[in-house]
Structure 1
Amino acid sequence: MVSEAIINPAMMIWARRYAGFIEEYEELLPGYIKKHYKLWENGEKYPTWNQLRQVSNKYNVPTAFFFMETEPDFDDLPTLINFRKIDPDNYKNESPELIKEIRKSEHRREIYLDLLFELNEPIPKFEVIEESKSRRNVVKYIREKLGISLDEQKSWIRKNNSLDKEHYNFLNKWKEIIIEKMGILIFETDGVILGEMRGLCIFHEEIPIILLNGKDTTNGRIFSLFHELTHLLLGESAICENNELSDEEIFCNAVAGEFLVPADDLNNNAHIISTDSINGLSHLYGVSTHVILRRLYDTHNISHNEYNSRIETLKEFSTSKSKGSGGNYFNNVIKYNSESYCAIVLEAYENGIINSGEFSKFTNLKKKYIPDLQKRVYGGEQ
């Protein structure tokens, strides 16, 4: 006879809501579990231990959680509510995938802070902008804080004497410098649809978080990176979608556009507007052709009609898509976790603060990948 796990049914309900499943029984688990799920929540039956482990993995909570006598205060848990500034009833609008990624990013930040403390590394305070928050001041502040001139930015189009047409070098350089100079952790999601979220930021006075959608194009992630950075500099947490047109979103878009493609410099380079010149400007600044067109319109180099016409042409012929989670496993783990986070975990392992099991748990990399990570961190990219 298969032994049952005598759980608290109220905790089964709590865990489902915690994971973001409000009424979606049909999407929860395999059919043989769905068949009994409502009975578990009603207390009419109990799951087997194997079934409980599957539910535990789905909801990302320990199995011991289901045996608690008292439910935690649910309204204290969804950090998402603070981002949206919405009523808790709207919590059900967020997908379980997004909720999981947000909680994962917060958990990695806690690990990062703990390891910095144990390594006796300084924990920097994040500095918001105290002066006038005009677009010009914010752009100037970012440029000075990062210490990267426009000429240096333009030089990133070449890596190892090759043209970086996909702008991966731009993205990796910006992430590395923002983490180093501003003390921000930058992660990427795995499994969140692009229509729900392009980027989000979580404000903390120490080590805030930027979370980019890993399904987005390289150029899309570059723009979102500076959009989210602007929110943080204003002392805000935010989730950003494709269709939001609030004053805050418009301002953050304007800062990102002006920083990446400064108007004065663009005017000096926008002599003849053609498909080839637009592509050339895209590579010059390390942004998408869409951003270039928007900047050309904002700087009065093209008319509204020409802007709309060229945008429609881009939509019709664009073939640039994210490669998602394909490719090299090791590189994908670094992409989702960030090299800086993995480097701190590696340092803690090398100093005997954590063991190989904890290294694997914190990074999702098996012990066999440690030499690869050491080469990445200490000897340059693979």
Structure 2
Amino acid sequence: MTSRILVKPVMIRWAIETSKLSLAQVTELFPKLKQWLATECELSISEIQKLSKALQIPFGYLLLSQPPAEEPTLLKHRTINNLEHERASRDLLDTIYLMEAKQTFMRESLIDDGFLPHEFIGSVTLNDSPENVAKSICATLKLSTTWNLNDTSALGYLKRASSNAGILIMQNGIVGNNTHRCLDINEFRAFILLDEYAPLIFLNSRDSQHAKIFSLCHELAHIWLGESDFFNDHIQQENHYLNAKAEHFCNDVAAEMILPREQLISYYDPKLSNTDNITLLAKHFCASDLVICLRLKKLNLIKKREFEQLYPALVEKMRQNLALRDSSAGGNYYNTQLSRLDHNFIALVDQKAQEGKILYSEAYELLGAKGKTYDNLIQHLEEQLT
């Protein structure tokens, strides 16, 4: 006799809402769905497995009586135009859980090895000037004054500098190694998981190079603020104000890191149109036209009326470029994997496995590679570092 398990309609409804499928699409896949949503039904294990796979929900979740609370308290994610989404997608949530596991390992390892919390976390407030905060970040990361003037190496340079300062830098365009689960650039461009020992920044690698640089600088500013409490929902109205204020502040810090006021003014040519200035400045600094336009407005180099004409056109251009962007992994497998994981994290995982502090099965899970593939990944990292 086939085993059957009681599944509550509220769980199926929740699973559909957190998936990428519409109710009509799920109904087409499961003809009995209308009945399952109307009353408690006993489903076969096979039916639950198929539902779990289609909706990308863990099997066990469908057996719960109430939907789980799935809003990580230390999450702040950056979106296009800072738009807020009512609910995080399953792809975003699962990515967060993967990153939390890596962060927990890093935190516990650092504590066991006697490291102290980072002093820069929460070292500034919203009352500090963005210029001074930008200088503080650049000094801590030991960034040169020309760090972002090389378009081909600026992002890698910034990632390495951040990692060497003790900040985990991860990126991916899919959930784990699942090429069928692409991360939606319209949902998030980056997020942070704050922690005093192992702060983590995750970049959506489906984004453009310039946007990833800005996102990384933006999230670094959030780490310097250390204001995770701004994003809890205990005092919703006050937090909404603080959230908006923090976003503007971090945008200003990121802009100052990438486009320092004095340098930008020195390269700005008042004899040229602002459209030409934006084009020339984009070639000089590692920044998008959109960021430069916003920066020029902030410095009162673009008048309000002209800005209101330029800005929507640049936003549309950005969206078109992202839509055309081919973000498939491609290339060398090991280079792709190394680009996704913080290099200091990889090295520490392998070190702990060699020391017997963790099992190799744990190391395989943390790096998403096992057996010979794991060995080759470590070898490729060592070759890159030398």
1:251 aligns with 2:269: no
1:111 aligns with 2:114: no
Q: Distance in 2 between matches of 1:367 and 1:185?
A: 25
2:297 counterpart residue number: 297
Q: Over residues 303-339 of structure 1, what are the superposed CA-to-partner deviations in whole Å (9 max), with x where a residue is unaligned?
A: 4444455546646766643432332344443444433
Q: Distance in 2 between matches of 1:195 and 1:23?
A: 13
Structure 2 letter corresponding to 1:203 = L
Q: Distance in 2 between matches of 1:212 and 1:224?
A: 7
Q: Judge conservation of contact 1:19–1:96 (CA < 8 Å) in 2.
A: no
1:270 aligns with 2:268: yes
1:222 aligns with 2:216: no
2:158 counterpart residue number: 174
Offset of 1:264 from its aligned partner? 0.6
Q: How many residues align?
A: 353
1:200 counterpart residue number: 191
The change in CA–CA distance for 1:176 and 1:51 in structure 2 (over 3 A counts) is farther
* Partner SS for 2:165: helix
The change in CA–CA distance for 1:303 and 1:93 in structure 2 (over 3 A counts) is same
Q: Distance in 2 between matches of 1:83 and 1:152?
A: 26
1:326 counterpart residue number: 329
Offset of 1:353 from its aligned partner? 4.1
Offset of 1:223 from its aligned partner? 0.7
Q: Judge conservation of contact 2:76–2:193 (CA < 8 Å) in 1.
A: yes
2:382 counterpart residue number: 378
Offset of 1:262 from its aligned partner? 0.5
Which of 114, 136, 145 aligns to 1:150? It is: 145
Q: Distance in 2 between matches of 1:355 and 1:281?
A: 51
Q: Judge conservation of contact 2:191–2:201 (CA < 8 Å) in 1.
A: yes
Which of 338, 361, 365 aligns to 2:342? It is: 338
Structure 1 letter corresponding to 2:210 = N
Structure 2 runs not aligned, ≥5 long: 78-83, 175-181, 232-241
Offset of 1:97 from its aligned partner? 2.3
* Partner SS for 1:345: helix
* Partner SS for 1:151: coil
2:202 counterpart residue number: 211
Moved more, 303-312 or 132-141: 303-312
Offset of 1:56 from its aligned partner? 4.6
Offset of 1:203 from its aligned partner? 2.4
Identity fraction in percent:
22
Q: Distance in 2 between matches of 1:112 and 1:130?
A: 24
1:1-382 equivalence runs, <5 A? 3-4=2-3, 6-7=4-5, 9-10=7-8, 13-14=10-11, 17=14, 21=18, 26=23, 31=28, 33=30, 35=32, 39=36, 42-48=39-45, 50-57=46-53, 58-61=55-58, 63=60, 74-75=68-69, 77-79=70-72, 93-116=87-110, 120=113, 122=115, 124-125=117-118, 127-130=121-124, 132-154=127-149, 157=150, 164=151, 167=152, 169-190=153-174, 191-237=182-228, 246-271=244-269, 273=272, 278-311=278-311, 314=314, 320-321=321-322, 322-328=325-331, 329-380=333-384
CA RMSD of aligned residues (A): 4.1
Q: Distance in 2 between matches of 1:189 and 1:73?
A: 27
Q: Judge conservation of contact 1:105–1:187 (CA < 8 Å) in 2.
A: no
Structure 1 runs not aligned, ≥5 long: 85-89, 158-163
Offset of 1:346 from its aligned partner? 3.0
Q: Judge conservation of contact 1:20–1:99 (CA < 8 Å) in 2.
A: no
TM-score, structure 1 normalization: 0.74
Structure 2 letter corresponding to 1:248 = A
* Partner SS for 1:379: helix
The change in CA–CA distance for 1:309 and 1:91 in structure 2 (over 3 A counts) is closer
Structure 2 letter corresponding to 1:201 = I
The change in CA–CA distance for 1:299 and 1:113 in structure 2 (over 3 A counts) is same
Q: Distance in 2 between matches of 1:349 and 1:256?
A: 37
Moved more, 334-343 or 24-33: 24-33
1:87 counterpart residue number: none
Q: Judge conservation of contact 1:109–1:207 (CA < 8 Å) in 2.
A: yes
Structure 1 letter corresponding to 2:372 = K
TM-score, structure 2 normalization: 0.73
Structure 2 letter corresponding to 1:44 = C
* Partner SS for 1:79: coil
Offset of 1:256 from its aligned partner? 0.7
Offset of 1:91 from its aligned partner? 8.9
Moved more, 50-59 or 289-298: 50-59
Q: Over residues 99-155 of structure 1, what are the superposed CA-to-partner deviations in whole Å (9 max), with x where a residue is unaligned?
A: 22223322332233345566x37364362124652222211211211111213443x
* Partner SS for 1:129: coil
Offset of 1:61 from its aligned partner? 3.2
The change in CA–CA distance for 1:293 and 1:36 in structure 2 (over 3 A counts) is closer
Q: Judge conservation of contact 1:198–1:212 (CA < 8 Å) in 2.
A: yes
Q: Distance in 2 between matches of 1:193 and 1:230?
A: 24
* Partner SS for 2:201: strand
Structure 2 letter corresponding to 1:252 = C
